[in-house]
Chains A and B, each alone.
Chain A
Amino acid sequence: MFTNFFEGEFWQAFLLSNKFAFTVVIIQLFLSLVLAIVLNENIRGKRVLRSVLLMPWVIPTAVTALLWMWLYQPDYGVLNYILKTLGLKQSLWLGSVDTALTSVMIVAIWKQMPFTTTMLIAGMQSISHDYYEASSIDGANKLQNYYYITIPFLKNVIKSTTLVSIIENFKMFPLFWIMTQGGPINATTTLAVLTYQTSFVSMDMGKGATIGVLWIIFLVVFSRLFNSVFKEESFV
């Protein structure tokens, strides 16, 4: 029974979900951190930038999927045109087994990054300026400031947003269902897609519910582990 388990569609979908969720969250966190640090500096027009930033996040998910499908069009899409003018290799994006998952990842990052950045900026604003002043007097440079002051202070915000977005991305459904429907050849059949397909397309509710339960157990265990590894640290 267990040999089947590791070869079957469940295991494959499980691995895909993990790959998707963790890649998206790690890249997203890194990019958001960089952007939040920059937007927290004395940059001209940062108020406008901070508010414009949220636009991808407010646009409905279904619309997001549609507009990226338009960008990804293999023959007359603008992304392939840009790649071509830059002299790079064009891609099939959603249409190819190799790139479909990556393409959806890019959309997920695009959609979620603004929110994470906003949260991080909110966290940064509660850091007192005195710390930066003190460390500058001690001769620290910008990068050291970020590394030794900003990031440690943000630990709790980073921790909670990371956990939430790992779970959110693990559950991600609309982008997959609109853009790829799990295809091509199951290349994007994550657990969410597999559960939905099993229970509402094949109408096998029992099997769907079973997959769902396994998946919830994993998420519960995971968030427990996550919380005990990254214990809430009170700083100062």
Chain B
Amino acid sequence: MRSIRTNSIFYLIIIVMFAFLLFPIYWMIVSSFKENNVLFTLPPEFLPVNPTLVNYKSIFVDNIFVTYYKNSLFVSFGATALTMFVATFCGYAFSRFNYKLNEIIITLILSASMFPVVSQLISIYGIFKNNGLLNNHYALMMILTSVSLPFCILMIRSYFNDIPKELDEAAKIDGCGRMRTMFQIILPLVKPGLLAVAIYTFMRAWDDYQYGLTLINRDEMRTLGPGISLRFLGDVQFDWGKTLSVAVAASLPVLLIFMFLQKYMVSGLTAGAVKG
């Protein structure tokens, strides 16, 4: 049996740590429901006295935020689809074919993901500029795919590895070709893995800041991250109420994914990171 003292130390740690982790989020959400003149009063209202939707309504007035949102959705979904397509084939190949170079190739792919983003951007920017790919959502999609691919390949490979090879062999004896084995026999079994890849990529793409900032410079083409930070912080007079309501809205998709699909997210991450 645990002593009361140990128990109270545990709960104390939990309270302190979770206060640190959750209070900022709470404060963002609460503040987004206050009017600007309430925001700047001291002492601050820890519970909003007159919650208001003024800030959220103002988002739709100039509409630029909605444009950013659409751009981000488009780019993120595109990158997700592309990553799933490529990662599935790569992961399957690494799991099922025993080439001598497999390990070397995997190391190379992984070291590419260690490369500093800024250095990548210097070369990517040059290439994009010479080929007229700046301000192009499809090009951004491609880059974001390449960003999440290394980890996704490892992640989906570990799911494939968990499925016995005998299954492939049985299918082969029954007359299935490679493709059919993969699509009809193996893929249905790694559905959680596919979902994990999709969630990971979507969140990485939605979180993107640096690529979008550099490779897109027309305001109406920008994605959320760079868009909100440039527009709302560039102003001398901060409209904090609006900024915070935009921030809440920008977190909404990932928070929803997190709430409903967390099981797949966490299992995918540990599969890729701990086992891989």
Contact = CB atoms under 8 A, between A and B. Distances in A.
Interface of A: 31, 34-35, 38-39, 41-43, 49, 51-56, 58-63, 65-71, 76, 78, 81, 85, 110, 113-115, 118-119, 122-123, 142, 157, 160-161, 164, 167, 170-171, 173-174, 177-178, 192, 195-196, 199-200, 205, 208-209, 212-213, 215-216, 219, 223
Contacts of B27: 67, 70-71, 78
B133 interface: no
**Size bracket, chain B contacts:** 35 or more
B99 interface: no
A209 B6 CA distance: 54
Interface in B215-250: 224-226, 228-229, 232-233, 240, 243-244, 247, 250
Contact of B254 (A42, A59, A70, A118): A59
Interface of B: 2, 6, 10-11, 13-14, 17-18, 20-22, 24-25, 27-28, 31, 39-44, 114-119, 121-123, 125-126, 203, 206-207, 209-210, 213-214, 224-226, 228-229, 232-233, 240, 243-244, 247, 250-251, 254-255, 257-258, 262, 266, 269-270, 273-274
Contacts of B250: 60, 62-63
B10 A66 contact: no
Given A173-B117, A199-B118, A209-B119, A61 B273 contact: no
Given A34-B13, A63-B247, A178 B229 contact: yes
19 contacts: A43-B10, A55-B255, A58-B258, A59-B251, A59-B255, A60-B207, A60-B225, A62-B250, A66-B232, A67-B247, A69-B233, A71-B27, A76-B39, A118-B270, A164-B273, A178-B209, A196-B118, A200-B121, A212-B116
Contacts of B2: 42
Query: Which of B209, B224, B244 has most A Cβ within 10 Å?
Result: B209
Contact of A70 (B10, B209, B244): B244
A167 B114 contact: yes
Contacts of B118: 171, 173, 192, 195-196, 199, 208, 212
A49 B14 contact: yes
Ranked nearest first, the 9 interchain pairs of A and B with the lowest CB-CB distance are A212-B119, A62-B225, A174-B209, A67-B28, A122-B270, A195-B118, A63-B247, A58-B258, A178-B229
Contact of B273 (A65, A119, A167, A208): A119
Given A60-B250, A178-B233, A216-B115, A66 B244 contact: yes
B225 A61 contact: yes
B232 to A, nearest CB: 7
A55 to B, nearest CB: 6
Nearest to B126: A205
A52 B22 contact: yes
B254 A110 contact: no
Query: Which of B118, B123, B126 has most A Cβ within 10 Å?
Result: B118
Q: Is the interface of B mostly helix, strand, loop or mixed?
A: helix
Query: Which of B27, B40, B114, B269 has most A Cβ within 10 Å?
Result: B114
Contacts of B116: 170-171, 192, 195, 212, 215-216, 219
A208 B122 contact: yes
Contacts of B214: 200
A119 B114 CA distance: 19
B254 to A, nearest CB: 5
Contacts of B232: 66
Contact of A62 (B21, B41, B228, B270): B228
A69 B254 CA distance: 21
Contacts of B31: 70
Contact of B262 (A54, A119, A192): A54
Contacts of A68: 24
A55 B229 contact: no
A166 to B, nearest CB: 11
A59 B25 contact: yes
Given A66-B232, A110-B20, A58 B254 contact: yes
A4 B257 CA distance: 51
A56 B13 CA distance: 18
B117 A118 contact: no
Contacts of A167: 114
A84 to B, nearest CB: 9
